[in-house]
Chain A
Amino acid sequence: MSETKALESMIGEEYKYGFTTDVEYEDFPKGLNEDIIREISRRKNEPEWMTEFRLKAYRAWTGMEEPDWFNATYKKPDFENIQYYSSPKNKPKKESLDEVDPKIRETYEKLGIPLDEQKMLSGVAVDAVFDSVSIFTTFKEKLADAGVIFCSISEAIQKYPELVKKHLGSVVPARDNFYSALNSAVFSDGSFCYVPKDTICPMELSTYFRINNMDSGQFERTLIVAEDNSQVSYLEGCTAPMYDKNQLHAAVVELVAEENAEIKYSTIQNWYSGDDDGKGGIYNFVTKRGMCRGDHSKISWTQLETGSAVTLKYPSVILKGDHSIGEFYSVAVTGKHQQADTGTKMIHIGKNTKSTIISKGISAGQSNNSYRGEVKISKNAENARNYSQCDSMLIGQTCGAHTFPYIESSNPTAQVEHEATTSRVGEDQIFYMQQRGLSEDDAVSMIVNGFCKEVLKELPMEFAVEANKLLDIKLEGSVG
């Protein structure tokens, strides 16, 4: 009974800031205070230093104001009404896929997601024998042979406390911002990846993630460390739409690249974006930052953002090492009533550092899509270079596109270039392609794919096809 209720509140018409209130499976009190933090840490069996880390973060958070400088309007979450800890066994499970919103299932079909995976994604109980278990084991062995550590952050805190202690919060300090402080205080789980010196990670850390990391919860914490001369490529998220009973998602991702190391972090984000009237949907407030700590290191963010009701997200790179490189490739698609305020920060500290920003914003429906970026050249960053290109594309008459570029240069040798364009998918463009036999949807899809090409080619090969399909589904019927 409780499960059905929870489900109703999740997908039903009345879904509204729908943190479930059903007491039957609530074994943890709502709201936030020091006792709650201690209790989270205790239940996770964490060492004392971790408890202290959380408490310090919590204390910082209580003194902070919720930011409101975004180009987005939404009802603020009620932080006292959130349950900050729930063990996986208490997650509501559905009996079968029939209980899942038909629209979501349609999308699964179009994306060609295997049945078992569909079940996992939508929280349906899966049979005990599951293909992925063996896949998972194979992956683990292969990674272990290479010396790569890849596990949940909870496991890492237990097994590799020194590594976690050294790096956690080193790129995104708890008090960095309101949401990072909250995350640091209450984070549930997430991923930890450590690539030792002179090691090239033998596989894309993606498929693994897709089957393993569905339950990491709303305050997800990810830490990736690449030691000298190492390389790793990581893909987060998946193309299938994901429901979650929690509306607020405040994740923190930290990347550390030592000398000559390279980290490529790709995201495909397709959280539930609310219904046709703009009801429901996830708030995706994420702090992502990479530190090019060593000379000649490189961090590259690639993101395809299509989901969530509200997205506030600025994956950034601190270019500390000399000759380090930061890249940001982004496609943000908004439709219906979605709002996205996303972009990046490139902070040049080292000499001869270089950053590239390519941002493509596509707005349709009644949505609002903003690019916000900052390029900062510090005093000692001799010969720093940045190239930024921010293109916006509008589909229809009722959407908005905005660009907010901030450039701050304190070194006269810096070279900073910024280009921005805004275009509209015009009636004439669509007519032209229709005249060549393409349907309206195919025409729009082709125009948009052409527009995003520079970014999509940065995605790992195996996901590029899915990314294209996702774009098509997202844009279906967006004209007229």
Chain B
Amino acid sequence: MRPTNSWISNLKAASVKKNIKYKQNQKGTENVLEIKNLHARVEGEETEILKGVNLTVNKGEVHAIMGPNGSGKSTLSKVVAGHPAYEVTEGEILFQGEDILELDPDERAQLGIFLAFQYPVEVPGVTNSTLLRQSYNAVAEAQGREELDPLQFDDYVRERLDLVKMKPEFLERSVNAGFSGGEKKRNEIFQMAVLKPKLSFLDETDSGLDIDALKIVSEGINHLAGEDNGIVLVTHYQRLLNYIVPDVVHVMMAGRIVKTGDKELALKLEEQGYDWLESEEKVTGEI
């Protein structure tokens, strides 16, 4: 659990955490996600969108994947979650060391993989609390934890609401139906708070948020970043990274991760854009 109030304290916390991680590394870190040479395309199409992605996320780490539009960031998130529209043609996805490529999306979710959607889907007539309780219990059952009855769940869920500063009335509204863009994004983080996943991909969670909502969402995410889970932020903008300081920053271009660094990389991208990487990429590509 990290202090969440400002950028500075985040930075401090991040460096403290890194030291811990460094020690873990020496003992042999448990990684939560390991992607090796992942190639994927839209089912039935020729062109690959992911062209050999390599990525390792260890427990306790926050990663950011940045990159221009169409570089494959969102596709990567969906492929990890098992979206049926995509076909993996090569490579591996290991979750806590286990190959998950053959698993259905619900089975992956039950293992503890969470995707905060860029465009959360509306489900009219189904209340947030109904969906969440069934979700929570499906995950709990799969992980051998105790399922909660409606009353127990109500207590639990109200406590989680505070994390994203949402009112209890929100629980009785239909899932995302008639929500503003910001509410939808907050709802995704709320769901994450309820389900407590081991690996979370947050796909453009910052887009469409005003500054106040961005702060609330970031605080929620910081709160949820713990020692035994990994978080991957997929974003266009360094803005989000002012509030959530990543341990590792990756740049994705044309279906591959072309550069990995620390938070300074994000700042450099903010200043200089992606062009300098493109030329660098060409050079490395030729080698």
Contact = CB atoms under 8 A, between A and B. Distances in A.
Helix, strand, loop or mixed for chain A's interface? Answer: helix
B123 A450 contact: yes
Nearest to B116: A435
B233 to A, nearest CB: 17
B245 interface: no
A435 B125 contact: no
A67 interface: no
B121 A429 contact: yes
A437 B109 contact: yes
B26 to A, nearest CB: 35
B125 A450 contact: yes
Interface string A435-467: 111111011001101111110000000000000
Given A437-B135, A437-B139, A438-B135, A451 B105 contact: no
A136 interface: no
Contact of B126 (A426, A437, A440, A450): A450
Nearest to B138: A437
B117 A438 contact: no
A411 interface: no
Contacts of B126: 446-447, 449-450
B134 to A, nearest CB: 6
B85 A427 contact: yes
B178 interface: no
Interface in B104-141: 104-106, 108-110, 114-115, 117, 120-121, 123-126, 130-132, 134-136, 138-139
- Among A437, A446, A453, which residue has the most Cβ atoms of chain B within 10 A? A437
A439 B135 CA distance: 10
Nearest to A443: B106
A439 B106 contact: yes
A376 to B, nearest CB: 30
A127 interface: no
A41 B131 CA distance: 57
A120 interface: no
Contacts of A71: none
A454 B109 CA distance: 30
B135 A436 contact: yes
A446 B131 contact: yes
Interface residues of A, number: 24
A436 B117 contact: no
A433 interface: yes
A435 B81 contact: yes
A118 B120 CA distance: 44
Contacts of A434: 82, 104-106, 109
A428 interface: yes
Contacts of A437: 106, 109-110, 134-136, 138-139, 142, 195
B133 to A, nearest CB: 11
B105 A447 contact: no
A435 B109 contact: yes
A411 to B, nearest CB: 34
A361 to B, nearest CB: 15
- Among B108, B126, B136, B139, which residue has the most Cβ atoms of chain A within 10 A? B126
A431 B115 CA distance: 11
B125 A451 contact: yes
A432 interface: yes
A431 B84 contact: yes
Contacts of B84: 427, 431
A433 B125 contact: no
A436 B191 contact: yes
Nearest to A447: B123
Given A437-B109, A437-B110, A438-B106, A432 B134 contact: no
Contacts of B142: 437
A450 B124 CA distance: 6
B124 A433 contact: no
A454 B135 CA distance: 23
A434 B115 CA distance: 11
A450 B123 CA distance: 7
Contacts of A442: 134, 138
A446 B139 contact: no
Contacts of A447: 123, 126
Contacts of A454: 125
A433 B195 CA distance: 13
A90 B76 CA distance: 67
Contacts of B131: 433, 436, 438, 446
A431 B121 CA distance: 9
Given A434-B104, A437-B134, A450-B124, 7 more contacts: A426-B121, A435-B82, A437-B106, A438-B138, A439-B138, A449-B126, A454-B125
Please provide the 3 A-B residue pairs with the shortest distance between their CB atoms, ordered closest to farther. Answer: A450-B125, A450-B126, A437-B138
15 contacts: A429-B121, A431-B83, A434-B104, A434-B105, A435-B81, A435-B109, A436-B191, A437-B106, A437-B136, A438-B135, A440-B106, A442-B134, A442-B138, A446-B131, A450-B124
